[in-house]
Amino acid sequence: MLDDALKSDIQAAYRRVIEARSLRPRYGQRLMMAEIARTLGDIRTDEQGKRVSQEHVCVLEAGTGTGKTLAYLLSALPIAQAQGKRLVISTATVALQEQVLHQDLPMLKASSGLEFEYALAKGRGRYVCVAKLDQLMDGAEENPTMSLFEQSLVSSQEDIGELARELAEAYGSGEWQGDRDSWPQAIADPQWRRLTVDHRQCTNRRCGHFGACAFFRARRGMDEADIIVANHDLVLADLSLGGGVVLPNPKDTIYVFDEAHHLPDKALEHFYHRQGVNASMRWLGQLKKSLTDLNTGLGAQHTIARLLGQFPDLLASIEPRLGDAFRLAQPLAERTPEDNERLHYRFTMGRLPAAFRDLAQQLVTPFAELSRHLETISDILRESLDPDKSTGLAREQAEAWLPLIALVHGRALEAHALWQAFGAEEVEDAPPQARWLTFEQRSGEAELTFSASPVSAAETLARYLWGSCHGAVLTSATLTALGRFDRLQERAGLANRYRYQSLPSPFDYSRAVLSVPREAVDPGDRDAHEGAIVDFIEKLGADEAALVLFSSRKQLRAVTARLEEETAARTLSQDDMPRRELIERHRKRIDDGQGSIILGLASFAEGIDLPGDYLTHVVITRLPFAVPDDPVGATLAEWIESRGGNPFMKISVPDASIKLVQACGRLIRKEIDTGRITLLDRRVLTRRYGRALLDALPPFRREIEGESAPATLAS
């Protein structure tokens, strides 16, 4: 149980912040703090400090205006410090990460009376490599075989040399901390690849520039921090490496996942594998061409010489089979794709014909062997950098060849993971792997990509995250679907025994109107629906601040083309300009007393913050059902159907409910906000699922014209 002294510390810190910031205590915020404190304070450990409690996770839906960040920081930090654990705050977006880092944490440190240190965690690839910087700044010649893989992506040595000098000067003077995100100008990906390293290429303490390393300087700051600000991708990447590699060990960590509704999708992305056949043939061919140079440079080391001697046979066993993969898949392409066009072929339920499975299994073994050989060579090269170890190689040789070997090792591992996932046997009663092919033309050259992904990350998250962490808090404004946590539990592997609560909103939603007007039509009649949208936009007031959300770019463009000139002059389309510029223009128009209409796609239904007069009308043109062309979603739907379930009601409707709540959430951002939400999709009145979607929305005042009885269950 949470002891009284710790409870008093949390309450006192909260009072100090409220008084210092002249804030008003919020009921939902206090409830959130109490629930987090109760969950984390009840965690029990054994004599070795290992967690034995199984109710160490709480899931809290808290809408805009609750004050989530302050609530979880004030309640989780004192408990983490008392239990000797580290607090990792993980967000899904850069905007929220920057808010926590640059606004919330400095405010908390200044106002709460709590003593703590905090740091930002980024992956190694976000930091410049000082060794590479030094090499490029001096104009030193890179290993000639690297040009086969990476150097051709950069226009000239002079370009990268000039940039390297600028970066080195700023880093050396302390004006720049060495991370890509804080450099004032964008650095192109091809150039940045030559300025950074991944964990395979990095030599850590064996590097002559270790003391000046930007990444390890940041790591040293993290070692002293009570709070580490990260993102979902970095947390998942760290877990995939075994945990405790970049971030603290999960067993010593309390995680707070803000924007937690993104976590299941982010997790799936980490287990998605793909391999382009021609791209693989190219790097394998380049490796074959490099063997002479590799033997000349590294053959004096007998283990490396022995392993390199096996490469020709390995490559000879891989290359013909990749050619077979292309020939085997070609008949499945319905037609030849044109330039910049992609055609997909998905295997039903992820089940492969025998020929494909056999081919995948034949490729797994040689790629596994190639990966092991490259790993061994990498390990020897790293040891050669240690002056206390004798490997038969000079340090200069190891330094020259390690980047290339590490690069090829990474590509071999990616190929092995793909073919392993593609050829794996199905587990009875377990969700399947989605497997599909992509045919495309790139600059006139055909490419075939094999892809595989699990349809659910639930089991992996349950085992490696929830099962291994000391404690966790998941929060977001939208965690329930149709008023229940079931969908999130299924997708994120969250156990029933964890704590779940939807916190009350501080907003008076009766200040806003939800309208389904008579003009709303069924989107099944595309022309009528498009016409209804055009007519509705034309009738919007000249001074209105509106956001019109579309489900497809094609329809957005079609509607835009049909608007009258006077109305078109008031519109700002996501199709025409970057998001930040669009928002700035919209705000300026409203500040100048003009009307402004934003035409946006699904991405504008989340993360857009336009309080007060900046947004008074949200128009949702269509219920946000996902487009049914995603191979992972389609495979999952087939699996549910095969087990007697209804994928539309089990997946599509709950997911649409979440997106609809998010879209409506653009309107009310502060307690004094008011306005209107208009839904131009009549299915919400005529289909059986419509009532469930409406009932899951906040309690807006409703104006629903021509309401009729629900008819069918079809979409």
Distances in whole angstroms, Cα of residue 449 to Cα of each of 279, 280, 363: 9, 10, 15
CA-based nearest residue to 280, from 323, 313, 247, 237: 323
Kindly write down the DSSP assignment for every residue of 409-426, as one continuous string: HHHHHHHHHHHHHHHPPP
Number of H helices, E strands in the chain: 26, 18
Question: pLDDT-based confidence at 146, cuts 50/70/90?
Answer: low
pTM of the predicted structure, to 2 decimals = 0.88
Question: pLDDT-based confidence at 626, cuts 50/70/90?
Answer: confident
Bridge partners, 253 (sequence order): 86
> Which of 102-111, 217-226, 537-546 is predicted with the least confidence, judged by mean pLDDT?
217-226
Question: pLDDT-based confidence at 139, cuts 50/70/90?
Answer: low
Q: Contact at 8 Å (CB) between 343 and 337? A: yes
Question: pLDDT-based confidence at 140, cuts 50/70/90?
Answer: low
Report pLDDT digits (tens) over 87-102: 999 999 888 898 999 9
Count other Cβ atoms within 10 Å, centred on residue 535. 12
For residue 158, pLDDT beyond 80: no
Distances in whole angstroms, Cα of residue 647 to Cα of each of 326, 347, 640, 694: 33, 18, 6, 20
Overall average pLDDT of the 609-634 stretch: 92
Query: Is 469 annotated as contributing to ligand binding?
Result: no
Count other Cβ atoms within 10 Å, centred on residue 705. 11
Report pLDDT digits (tens) over 237-283: 999 888 888 899 999 999 999 999 999 999 999 989 999 999 999 99
- Alpha-carbon distance of 511 to 681, in angstroms, equals 23
> Which of 332-346, 509-523, 670-684 is predicted with the least confidence, judged by mean pLDDT?
332-346
Question: HSE of 614 in the Cβ direction (CA atoms, 13 Å)?
Answer: 16
3-state SS of the chain: helix, strand, coil percent to 5?
Answer: 50, 15, 35
Query: Is 58 annotated as contributing to ligand binding?
Result: no
**Which domains occur in the chain, in start order?**
4-116+226-259+477-503 (3.40.50), 126-195+206-211 (no CATH), 280-453 (no CATH), 509-709 (3.40.50.300)
- Alpha-carbon distance of 292 to 308, in angstroms, equals 10
- What does the pLDDT read at residue 416? 97
